[in-house]
Structure 1
Amino acid sequence: MAGKKRRQNSSKPRKQAVSRSTRAELQFPVSRVEHYLREGGYAHRLASSTPVFLAGVLEYLRANILDLAGKEAQGKRKKCITPQHLETAMENNQHLRPLFQDDPKSLLDETSQPNPRRSDEAWVPEHGKTFSTSSSSPQNTHR
Structure 2
Amino acid sequence: MAEAQATAHCKSTTHLVPQVYGALEGTRMPILPPSGGYRDYSHKEKLNCSLYTPTDQDFEQTCPKSALKCFANETKVLIQEWEDVNFRVVRPYRNLSKKLEILSAKLNQSESECRQCEFLNEQNAETFLKQLKSTVEMMNRLYC
Instruction: Tell me whether the two structures share a fold, i.e. TM-score over 0.5.
Output: no
State the TM bucket, normalised to the shorter chain.
under 0.3
Taking structure 1 as the reference length, the TM-score comes to 0.23
Structure with higher helix content: 2
Structure with the larger RCO, 1 or 2 (CA within 8 Å, 6+ apart): 2
Taking structure 2 as the reference length, the TM-score comes to 0.23
